[in-house]
Structure 1
Amino acid sequence: MSGVAAPVRSDHAELAVSHVIDEVLERVVEDLPYDDVTGRLQRRQYVIDRLKLEFSKDAGRLAATFANEDAGERLDAPTAGEWIRHNCKTSRSIAYDCINVGEQLHRLPKSADALATGAIGFAHLSVIARTSSAITDSTPESAFVEDELLERARECSAGRLWHYCMRLRHALDPEGVAREQRIAVEERRLQFSVWEDGSLFISGQLDPIGGAAVRTALEPLAQPMGQGDDRCLEHRQADAFVELATHSLDAGLVPQHASQRPHLQVTTSLETLRGLRGSPAADMEFSTPISSTTVQRLACDGNIARVVFGPDSVVVDVGRAVRVISGATRRALNARDQHCQWPGCERTASWTAAHHLVHWIQGGATDLSNLTLLCHRHHWMVHEGGWKLARSDDGRLLAIAPVYDYYHVRAPDTIPVT
């Protein structure tokens, strides 16, 4: 496909069409005040739907031309949908959607009339057309019930109409619906791309059932948590996705690989762990180098192993991994706190980490008096987010917001980094 199409109209004709469209768009709202935004939107959407209906009629005729003639070679396009996508400057899904509507209109005269009078939108007509196509292709002996679907379309959104149509299709052709769901599973995709700053960009596609499982798992984790949670929904869902993955690793829910439980592994110097000025960033697999504050959060409630390097970075000693917080201490902490102790948060103990109020690297004790349970988000807020936790006189835990000093430059530490 060359991607170059000869213009179908002269510049003069296109200019005339543009003037007509401008006039229609103005006249359709001329009786409405400028501040009646909702009314103007409805009127203009009606115009769009009418134009899309006429566009679909032509799209259906073009598809018939491709089926019966050598239009592909003449128009330099493999299909009518590809010609429309490229030359009409639209997406593939919209192109084929309009073709399907155009091809089904002879079965949908009442639906077309309903759109023309504004009783339904083009989105409704598209759903009815797809259902008509699916039913007649899979079960040609079944009578397509336009009246029933049109009545539903007048009463509900296009999304709800689609759900109703799927139930109807299953009643007529359960094997066909099951086949479509199998195909959707085979088309699952998930792709990771790393941006320049190390951020992970996720793109993919899930079948409806797999997508429902993911959304069901994320939904309870994506609810607002505690006092002052002003995150937008997209932010909460991203945090929920990370929390779900972190919990799966912490709880050992991921299958072992090479006799080892998958886990986040950080390689850091002692100076970085202590947060000394001038210390290098730590290394973590699948991540860019990480800051000392992140290292300290992960070290709050993790396994620590000593690795001693000799000359030329040769490993001369590897110590055994030791859990910072013993099993007995963690069980006692779970029994005492029962959930995340951030004010207003009730994430259960199994979804929390044990946080040192005074970090053990700074001399804090690993006992109940210096420990508290924090969920993944609030543990991050204390370490990387700059929040502080303090106990009131009556024993309640208080969260103190950070105060940023953008003009303060920290002096180098007196202990040199070797």
Structure 2
Amino acid sequence: MTLSTASYAALADLAVPFAPPSPHGLDDSELLALKRELAEIRRRLDAADSAVSAEIANRSRPELGYDGLAQRLGARTPEKLIQRVAGVTARDARTQIRVGGLVASLTDDAPPAEPWLRPVAAAVAAGDLSLDAADAIRTGLGKPGSGVTVAALSDAVERLLHYARELTIEKLGARAREIRASLDAEHVAEREELLRSQRYLHLVPLSTGMTRLDGLLDPESAAQVTAVFDAATSPRRGGPRFVDPTAAAAQADALLEDSRTTEQIALDTFVELLRLGTLADVTAFIGARKPAVQVLVTQADLDRQAGVAFIEGQSEALSTQTAKRHVCESGSLPILMESGQVLNLGRELRLYNRKQRMALAARDGGCIWPGCDRPPSWCEAHHIVEWSRNGRTDIADGVLLCKHHHLLVHNNGWQIIRRGSQYAIVPPAAIDPSRTPRIVRTKSPAMRRLESLQKHPPARTLADPPPPPQQARELVSV
């Protein structure tokens, strides 16, 4: 333990009065090192805490009735007892019990109920994985089913444990659901319908005279609403600013100078859309122009009418039937991912055009910066070699960056390089004297699906249509 963290040694000695020391005197490297040490201490404490919570749940199991620990102490459930004793939320109590059960299974003599999750339990017990990360993997992958074997889930767990080092909890859960959808593609439509059935909107009058909006959007509905709200507010939230022509730039500047908060702009947009809807001719379709929602699907899955599709900006997989419906409504744009020369502009034009941005969005899935969660609609197309230095406006030489990271590259000495089809971020010497390139991975689930199909092509059945003579499309945007 370093000198800066020595005062934390008394954490476990409850007889010693404790007050956290001030970190103000630490330099940057010491501050981050201390944060990492505290995070590991927290993970270790949480692992022990979850095991205790699981034992409380075991001693309060339903068959014990009023003799169970929780009910003897006046708590209806073990979760309620844990909330009362530890002062945690109901969600935290449930997570502690679920993950604690996994950790306890490591020492049980009986065969574990979920053997594919033993590496997750071991990572939690070792203090390498947080409870929330473990629960995200567990709930995202689900249980074995038709076509999804224990071996397949075990392989998925190993991959997710590797991803856990670099992904946020939310993105780790999304990646787990993505893997499950890929393993169980034939049931994607059922899960899609289940989510759709859970959508709702409530208006809740409050005693203050205000009314609260409360609701849940299924992924397809959320994509349409998000597209409208992004168009209304994105420059205020770090969205595109390098825009052309002049009128678009002026519009973005006006939005930035608007005195309303971003949340107020979003609500006013919602109310105005409803108002415009009531003014429409009741005999006509409302909104002939659909929100700009991009659905991405591999051509192989579209031809087979099997597999999965993805809505840009949404983590949940959709069925190819939904993708085909969008093809029917909006048409499609073929995107050849490896050689998009037909969309290249060379030195003729400086800015990437709409079709190029769609191809970049399909390939990158948002800002390529590690850890950044900005979707494609919030990003700008960055020339790896600046146009002013004879760079080309070509797909291979462009990447998506959000405004913050775009400015970071231009103003703080960071660099993006390309090695074949891979891209890497090179930190400035002040951050890393060796300037070691950091490989970035695509955030597009559709692109990952394409890579998976290229490595493991699906077996064709007699019912499958024959492939076209020369397949020109790999991804389709609809």
Greater length-normalized contact order (CA 8 Å, ≥ 6 residues apart): 2
- The two structures have a TM-score, normalised by structure 2, of 0.41
- The two structures have a TM-score, normalised by structure 1, of 0.46
Q: In terms of Rg, which structure is larger?
A: 1
